[in-house]
Structure 1
């Protein structure tokens, strides 16, 4: 627990004992996450001409928005998945929800600490605590909580808040739903303002289409290599 990166792995990576791990799919998921970072930074450099600090902050904000949308999609998809399953699988899946819930709680708790440290309404409290508390607290915040939160965001997006601990078919279902919701949010917020139309359309549809293709590939490999499908998982 003294190492924030090891702590983030323990909290945000799936760890079910009988979990099926496909190394090829895992590599594609990591590649997709980094490709998204590179493309977003490239677009910002070419069309937004922002300073390096602003680029880093914009990318962090984008990742955090993705986490928020993923958090919104997660209970809907997981809830529908559990309800659709027949006994005894329904009870098994319901009991496994605690691991994704712990991951979500840990993420929001870590981000809430930054809110407490920066919100203007609590400036009086921070002054009352004085440097005796604020200095060590600030060191913990930036040396432990910050790397835990940043690495946690990357792991949460890659492993979909460790929903594979519920079942292997859940992460692709949640990720596809969240990616298309994110695309709709980008449309209504005009996220690619100032970017040429063709490029903006490619960026808008590129992420959800890529996630959908990867999800299809993942589900297809599970069916072909392990005989696992959404239908037989739900006992339908």
Structure 2
């Protein structure tokens, strides 16, 4: 079983390496992010309730293929919508800030910009590495696989595909913290992650409906399912901002 065990061990180490770099580049609690345990607990509960409700609706009304398509669409679109929202929110907060606050915010734009470049660069590397891996594999692989060259084929495939899968793992591990923390722009303003999430979820809902329409449920249930996510996320974002103002002394302009 070496042909199965060795690839699993290799790609496990590749995943660990990518996760370590992603956590270092996109920390869960970056500088400037105020951690509120009550808000985090409410967000986790909301996420699990959303999973349970979605599973229940699919079990009752079906539509698994449509749900999978929406999941793939969300997986690809959500980071880009969150990135656009973070940039717009950062620009708006910079515009209303006082002169002294702007001087401090400028120092953090560079760090946020570098974080964005890392994330965008990783996504751009995905198709390039995929095509390059296919070309490299076709150039070194023998015409037929026999017992004599089986070891060479396995080792060559592992070496060639390892960089591509490293980038895949990096993007997967980096996307969650990047979206939650507004791509490390939280140092600009404590309210930026909450505002970014609240705006991005509504933009994503509008894009999803314009592209695919309502889910295959009865109309009242479908409308509730579509609006339930953005509404609950917006309520939690508003509550987070409220707690930032009341408990942590956050002010919009300074």
TM interval, shorter chain, is: 0.7 to 0.9
Deviation per CA, 1:17-44, whole angstroms, max 9, x where unpaired?
A: x643212223333444455555556655
Q: Classify 1:108/1:133 alpha carbon distance in 2 versus 1 (closer, same or farther; 3 Å).
A: farther
Q: SS state of the match for residue 250, structure 2?
A: coil
Q: Classify 1:139/1:191 alpha carbon distance in 2 versus 1 (closer, same or farther; 3 Å).
A: farther
Q: What is aligned with 2:5?
A: none
Q: Distance in 2 between matches of 1:62 and 1:6?
A: 25
8 Å CA contact retained: 1:11, 1:102:
no
Q: How many residue pairs align between the two structures?
A: 225
Q: What is aligned with 2:65?
A: 50
Q: What is aligned with 2:224?
A: 202
Q: SS state of the match for residue 173, structure 2?
A: helix
8 Å CA contact retained: 1:82, 1:90:
yes
Q: What is aligned with 1:102?
A: 114
Q: Classify 1:50/1:32 alpha carbon distance in 2 versus 1 (closer, same or farther; 3 Å).
A: same
Q: Distance in 1 between matches of 2:171 and 2:139?
A: 25
Q: What is aligned with 1:227?
A: 249
Q: Classify 1:40/1:90 alpha carbon distance in 2 versus 1 (closer, same or farther; 3 Å).
A: farther
| Structure 1 vs Structure 2 CA RMSD | 3.1
Q: What is aligned with 2:20?
A: 6
Q: What is aligned with 2:159?
A: 136
Q: What is aligned with 1:190?
A: 212
Q: Structure 1 residue aligned with 2:39, among 2, 21, 25? A: 25
8 Å CA contact retained: 1:4, 1:147:
yes
Q: Distance in 2 between matches of 1:85 and 1:150?
A: 34
8 Å CA contact retained: 1:37, 1:59:
no
Q: SS state of the match for residue 188, structure 1?
A: helix
| Normalised TM-score (structure 1) | 0.78
Deviation per CA, 1:208-236, whole angstroms, max 9, x where unpaired?
A: 21121111111111122122132xxx14x
How far 1:147 sits from its partner (Å)? 2.1
Q: What is aligned with 1:167?
A: 189
Q: SS state of the match for residue 192, structure 1?
A: coil
Structure exhibiting the larger radius of gyration computed from Cα positions = 2
Q: Structure 1 residue aligned with 2:82, among 58, 66, 70? A: 70
Q: Does 1:89 align with 2:92?
A: no
Deviation per CA, 1:86-142, whole angstroms, max 9, x where unpaired?
A: 1110121122123333333222222222212445xx788546864698742411322
8 Å CA contact retained: 2:86, 2:193:
no
Q: What are structure 1's unaligned runs of at least 5 residues?
A: none
Q: Distance in 1 between matches of 2:54 and 2:76?
A: 14
Q: What are structure 2's unaligned runs of at least 5 residues?
A: 1-13, 142-154
Q: Distance in 2 between matches of 1:37 and 1:103?
A: 30
